[in-house]
Each structure stands twice: as structure tokens, then as C-alpha cells.
Chains A and B, each alone.
Chain A
Amino acid sequence: MQGLFHVSAIDYVIILAYFVFVLMVGWLLRKYTRTGEDFFLSGRSLPAWITGIAFMSANLGSQEVLGMSAGGAEYGMIETHFYWIGAIPAMIFMGLYMMPFYWASRARSVPEYLKLRFNEATRGVNAFSFAVMTVLVSGIGLYSMGIVLQALLGWSLVVSIIVSAVVVLAYVFLGGLTSSIFTEVTQFFLICLGILPLTIIGLVKFGGWHGLVSHIPHNYGHVWADLGTAHNALGTNWFAVVFGLGFVMGFAYWTTDFLVVQRTFAARSMRAAQVTPIYASFIKVFVPLVDIVVGLVALAVFPHIGHDGTSYNMALPMLMAKYYSTGMIGLGITALLASFMTGMAGNITAFTTVWTYDIYQAYINKKASDRHYVWMGRLAMTVGMILSIFTAFIAGSFPSIMDYMQTLFSFFSVPIFATFLLGMFWKRTTAWGGFSSLVSGIIFACIFYWALPFHFATPNAKTFWQSFWVWVVATAIGILVSLFTKPKTDEELKGIVYGVQKYPSYKHLRWYKRPGYLACISLALFVALDIIFW
């Protein structure tokens, strides 16, 4: 079968070099990976620039680059909300206000924090739901990689799924979380170097930003302009975007999803952990340059994209085929392949940690040796990867992978965020208050999704509103139950809750080392960009 790209020997050399590179990284890391702390937490030894890039890059996986460039071509700059309001405030809040408790608790995972703050039952619900969700997401990543490679290169779906799964498994098996983080950082640079030429060529060709915008429908260049009413591509107004997407969904993902939170746990100090999400926010604001803006360029170059038998999902590959020659094609494919593979690696390592510490150690084998848990982690990786391969074929039966993921995500993640916010910032929240807010949130999400008769213009609109109301219900129930149950003592909450633990002070440091100053700069940048591209 013939793909969209003409791939020649030099392209294969570039792709092969990446495979060799990641396997080499895994091989070199194996001797740094001895204890459970090494394997599951990178020995809590990484500098902030690495964890910061990885924090952002763990999410720049398969669905993002192709999906968001498709979104850019289909809807325009309005998609940027997923990166700006949907991420930046959450990352800053995480770094300044949540990280100190996460870090001071010395929890090894998000479910473990819930155990420390609330009780075993709360941990159990979160651990099981996260483990299931992560394997599903990982399978989706595998599947979407398979279909992309098939369309672009004519590779067999089954062969590319199996080969990349084996390579990913090999390097995370050897190096654990560090392998995953190192390849995420590499992937970030590869994505920039592999895709930025398209952005630059597009902007030069059309005469800068204003030139580009004049070649596409006039409202495609704006982020906020159409949000006064629900008559826009998102199908909803500013309230759902600010509170549903920005406050609830963004915060839920960036502050409680263990896939990204695990990166902060690998940081080598409290300060490094605090600046991790703040560094990430500086990069995050510019990510639209390698996907959404590329989508706008694609729309300007191919005005009939999305019609005449072409798919928006091909926005990025079509541009590559047009502007890249042999050589650059190889680099572009490697960037995409790398983003698929790191997405999978991140999911698998997060799954492994939760399985080993929060399910296996908590319920199956409480008192094994450290060496045994590392062994169990490696076994869980292998089993998780096999489950992902099965899931890959299940994912194929859903029409839109992105919507499917968001649906899943809002069922599990939003209630956890409600629980976290109560637990971290209101010390009166009781163990069963936390548990009931988590469970009632998940149940209400299902009721809202399947049973309530509301009609929404787009799946996005439904997800935003659902997230907001799930948060309201979960918070209300958490408060109500807390008022009727017995609170924990200050002694039990020492170090993990606001009001019991003081925030660390960095007054003795230079400004560029202080989380507070960095957060202000990031916030200013975020506000400025929203105004410029209103």
C-alpha cells in the first residue's frame, strides 16, 4: 500500500536513528535504576528544566499534534483555549499552591496522597479508575499511531503497533520513569525542529500573521471574539470556557492527573518541584505555534481541506508532503513517531507506579522487599503494554478519538479535582467527605452524560458544562458529608493541608529562582497573548 509520503533511504536512517537512540537511553539508564525510588520516581533527583519540559511534553502526545492542527484548520485560533485558559492558570496554581503539599507529603503517587489525606477507600477508587483509564488512553495512542503510519507511509497497522509497543516497552522496562522523562524532553525538541519549518514557511509565504489571517475566514484569527454567545466552533459561551474548560477541566488535568503530576515528583527539591509546572507554562503558551498555527497555514494553503475527500486530520501531513523533501520528511515523521511513543511511555510508567504502589502494595502484597516491587513494576509494564495493544483495536470503533478521551477524562478526573481542592485547602474536610465527593462526582458525571435531557451544540460544549456541574455537585456533597463526620486532627494533617503547613519562603533567592516571580511573569505573558489575539 502506498502512503502520502515518498520515503527514501535517508528518511529511514533518521527514523532508525531515533529508535537506536531511545534504546540506548534505556540501556544507559539501567544502571541508574536500582531501587524502587529510582524506577518509579527517578530517584527524586532531576533538575527543574528536565521535569518542566517533561511536564508539558507528556501531554504533547499522539492526539495533540495531529488533533490540534486539525482543530486549527477546522475552527481556527479558538482552539487555543485548550492551551491558554485551559492550562496556564492551572499550571501556575499547581506550582505555587498545591506543589508544597504534594511534595511535603512525600507521596509517591496521586492516589497515595489521597490515602494520606483521606482514607484507603478514596485511594482505592482513584487508583483503580486511573489504572483503567490510563491503559485505555495508551491503547488509543497506539491505535492512532498505527492509522497515521498506515496513511503516511503505507506501513501495516498491526506491524507498526507491535514494533513501537515493543520498543517503548524495552526502554521503559530498563530505565523506568527516567527513560520516560528523558524521551519526553527529546521528543519536545524533535517536535519543535520537525514542525517549526512549516510554521515559518507559512508565515513567510503569506506575509506574517496578518497576511495569514487574511487568507482564512476572518474570525479564525481570534481567540475570544466569538465567545459572547454560543454561536462559535466550540458551541458555547465564555462562561463555560472560563469555568468549565479553564477552571475545572484544566485544573483537574494539570493538578491531579498522575501522568503529568508524576513528573513533578521526580524533581530533586521542593523548589524544583514548584517551578516544574511554571516552567512548563512558559513553553505551553507557545505550543500553538507547532499545531494550531500549522492548521491555519494548512487552511490557507489548501482552502478545500476537510472537503473533496480530504480530512482535517491530514492538515499537518499534507503540509509536510508539500514543503518537505527527502530528509526533512524523515525528521517530520520521526517527530510524530516520537510524540506517539512518548505518550505511550508516559502512560505506561504512570500506570505501572499506580498499579505497584496503590494496588499491588496496598491490597495484594503489603510487605515485600523493594527489589520485589521493582520486579512487579516491570511485570506490570509488560502486562499493561499487552492490554494497550488490545485496547488499540477497541479504540478503532469510536468515531472521534479526541472526544472519546475527553469523555473518559471528565468522568474520572473532575471529581478527583473537587476532592483535592476540598482536601488541600479546607482542613475540616473529613475522610468520608473526600470519599463521598469523589464517588458522587463520578456517579453524577454518568447521570449527566447519559440521563439528563440537555442538548448541546457540540461534544466540547457538553464536556465543559458537564465538568463544571460535576465539580459543583462533588464539592457540595463533599462539604455536606464533612460537616456530619469527624474531622482529622492537625497532627494527622501535618505537612499535607493548607492551614496546617506553611508555604516555603524563597525570599533569600534571586528573582529568577523564585516560584512566585516566575509565576507572575508567566501570568503576564498569558494575559498579553490573550489580549493580542483576542
Chain B
Amino acid sequence: MNDSEKPAMLDLRRLLGIIFTFYGLLLGIYGLVTAHQPRAISFNLNLWWGILMLIVGILFLVFSIKPPRTWDPDDDEHI
């Protein structure tokens, strides 16, 4: 297999970053604007969980800045 002819594999970390940043923003802002709460709990779950998802999403985006290695030098086989 010739690596130079193939594009490097799509970075899953970036994809995860995009979806969770989107969900985090959506849920967080929605929680902030509406402050809907189910009767059973006393805090704004949408807001706090939205913030947590936003952090997860941003972390994935940060990790994806460095392009993925297509080959790990440690994986050379020593038999």
C-alpha cells in the first residue's frame, strides 16, 4: 500500500468535536434561555449538561489540531 497516493484517514476526533460542540451549544443556550426544569430535580440540567458537552466537544477539537499519525513508530514489529 502506498501512503503517498492515499489521503490521510479522516480524523474522527474532529467529527466528534463538531457534533458535541454543536450539541453542547444548542443544549446550553436552550437551557439558559428557557430554564425549563422537570418537577423532579432542582437545577437546570440542560444548561449544566450542555456546558459539559461543550467542553467535551472543544477537547476533541483541540486534540484534532495535530493531524493523525498514519503510522506509529512504536508499532514496528519485533518478533
Q: Which of A141-149, A474-482, A505-513 contacts B (4 or more CB under 8 A)?
A: A505-513
Most central of A46, A324, A509, A513 by chain B CB within 10 Å: A324
The one of B7, B26, B45 in contact with A32, judged by C-beta atoms closer than 8 angstroms, is B7
Residues of B within 8 A of A185 (CB): 12, 16
CA gap between A432 and B38 in the complex, in Å: 64
Looking at A37, A45, A325, the one whose CB has the most chain B CB atoms below 10 A away is: A325
Q: Beta-carbon contacts of A184-221 to B below 8 Å, as 1s and 0s?
A: 01100100010001000100000000000000000000
Cα-based distance from A197 to B46 in the complex (angstroms): 10
Main secondary structure of the interface of B (DSSP, over half): helix
Contact assessment for B41 and A323 in the assembled complex, using a CB-CB cutoff below 8 Å: yes
B23-A17 in contact (CB<8A): yes
- B45 near A328 with CB under 8 A, answer yes
Q: Is A325 a contact partner of B77 (Cβ separation < 8 A)?
A: no
Contact of A327 among B16, B19, B46 (CB under 8 A): B46
Separation in Å of the B2 CB from the closest CB of chain A? 12
Interface core residue of B16, B20, B46 (most chain A CB under 10 Å): B46
Closest beta carbon of chain A to B6's beta carbon, Å: 8
- Chain A interface secondary structure, helix, strand, loop or mixed? helix
Q: Are B16 and A43 in contact (CB under 8 A)?
A: no
Determine if B20 and A269 form an interchain contact, defined as CB atoms under 8 angstroms apart.
no
B9 touches A322 (CB 8 A): no
Cβ of A502 < 8 Å from any Cβ of B? Answer: yes
Task: State which residues 50-79 of B face A: CB under 8 Å.
Answer: 50, 52-53, 56, 68-72, 74-75, 77-79
Pair A272/B75 contact, Cβ less than 8 Å: yes
For A178, the chain B residues whose CB sits under 8 A away are: 9-10
CB<8 Å pairs between A and B, sample of 23: A17-B26, A21-B18, A21-B19, A28-B10, A178-B10, A182-B10, A189-B16, A189-B56, A193-B20, A193-B49, A193-B53, A269-B75, A272-B75, A323-B40, A325-B36, A325-B37, A325-B38, A325-B46, A327-B36, A327-B46, A328-B46, A331-B23, A507-B78
Interface positions of A (Cβ within 8 A of B): 10, 13-14, 17-18, 21, 25, 28-29, 31-32, 37, 43, 45-47, 50, 178, 182, 185-186, 189, 193, 197, 201, 268-272, 322-328, 331, 502, 504-509, 513
